[in-house]
Amino acid sequence: MGEERIGLAQLKNLAMGFDRAEMRDVHIVKDGGDYLSKSHMGVWNVEKGELACLAPKSYMVIQHRHAVECLVEALSSLNITAQAELKQSKHCIQVDFDFPESKLELTKVGESFTTGIRVVSDYGQVAGLVIAARVTRLACSNGMIVNDIVKPRRIKYTEELKVTVEGLIDKIIKDIIAGDEKLASMVSISMKDSVEWQALRLLAKALFRKKKHVQEILTRVKSNEEGRVSRWDFYNAVTNYVSSSGGRLKPQVDAWLQNKAQKILATPIAQLTEELVKVEEKKTA
């Protein structure tokens, strides 16, 4: 199973203990001189006592706590029942919100999902607060990021953060539902696209490289009576690995695996194989 899901009130309480960050001057020391940077400042993680990243002087950091509080308030204002899964790593927090009462039925392929969002706040990045659309497949509780259906949005610091977040959450839910035909089409096509087991094993090794990831994914893949595996089953093996790993995967690794999964869902196996062959040829050239 994945990491334990918590309610909004519990998440808000946890947010009070999140790391804080502040902007500090950056000095360049060279040849005995000390020069104050005119264009950049440092995002300083106060609790960890270390530099998270460099940012333009115009940048204003969004505190993890402030971001989560605004999200909780926005969901409450929209009267959305939500459950959350929290991951923390280094300077980053990642929260997956699932909206169990917001169901998405893909009748063409016989699949049901609940909608949700993923929120990433990272002091180590200057992208601001990132909110992405996600759905959870009810058949197996696999959480799936759907950037190919609804593009992720980045929010810079603003005093109207709660209002901005509320409008964005509402729009993302509507966009997921409006994009159900596209999602159903992608699922349907991936179900019909298959490859022999041995070829899939080589493809998994090339895509994920790290032995641990490859083994975890392949143990979740089942071939049919003809010894073939559909792209949909391959995709689900990856999302199941991510969903069932809970807090064992860092947010950055989780995001990397989800990006790979999205590529699998959206790309024919023949094209995936061709792209990897070209990459290998460039390495040996």
Residues 150-198: tens digit of each pLDDT: 999 999 887 788 889 999 999 999 999 999 999 999 999 999 999 999 9
Q: Which structure tokens are listed for 158?
A: 């603003």
The answer, yes or no, to whether residue 285 has pLDDT greater than 60, is: no
Q: How far apart are CA 197 and CA 219, in angstroms?
A: 12
Q: How far apart are CA 147 and CA 118, in angstroms?
A: 11
Buried b (16+ CB within 10 A) or exposed e, 165-204: bbebbeebbeebeebbeebbebbeebbebbbebeebbebb
| Each residue's pLDDT tens digit, 98-123 | 999 999 999 999 999 999 999 999 99
Helical (H) or strand (E) element with 120: strand 111-122
Judge whether 89 and 124 are in contact, CB under 8 Å: no
| Each residue's pLDDT tens digit, 134-151 | 999 999 989 999 999 999
Which residues partner with 137 through β-bridges?
113, 142
The answer, yes or no, to whether residue 203 has pLDDT greater than 70, is: yes
pLDDT at site 284 = 63
- 201, 185, 268, 271: which is closest to 237 by C-alpha? 201
Average pLDDT, the chain: 92
Q: Quick one: pLDDT band at residue 5, thresholds 50, 70, 90?
A: confident
pLDDT at site 2 = 44
pLDDT at site 253 = 92
* Cα dihedral across residues 12, 151, 233, 204: positive or negative: negative
Q: How far apart are CA 45 and CA 29, in angstroms?
A: 22
| Each residue's pLDDT tens digit, 233-273 | 999 999 999 999 877 888 999 999 999 999 999 999 999 98
Q: How far apart are CA 258 and CA 155, in angstroms?
A: 21
Residues whose CB falls within 8 Å of the CB of residue 254, separated by 6 or more in sequence, listed in order: 87, 94, 242, 245
Q: How far apart are CA 172 and CA 133, in angstroms?
A: 6
- 188, 175, 247, 257: which is closest to 216 by C-alpha? 257
pLDDT at site 281 = 60
- 251, 229, 220, 224: which is closest to 142 by C-alpha? 220
Judge whether 95 and 28 are in contact, CB under 8 Å: no
pLDDT at site 230 = 96
pLDDT at site 1 = 37
The pTM score is 0.89
pLDDT at site 33 = 87
| pLDDT > 70 fraction of the chain, expressed in percent and rounded | 96
CA max distance for the chain: 72
Q: Enumerate the domain spans of the chain.
A: 8-14+62-179, 193-278
Judge whether 254 and 242 are in contact, CB under 8 Å: yes
pLDDT at site 97 = 97
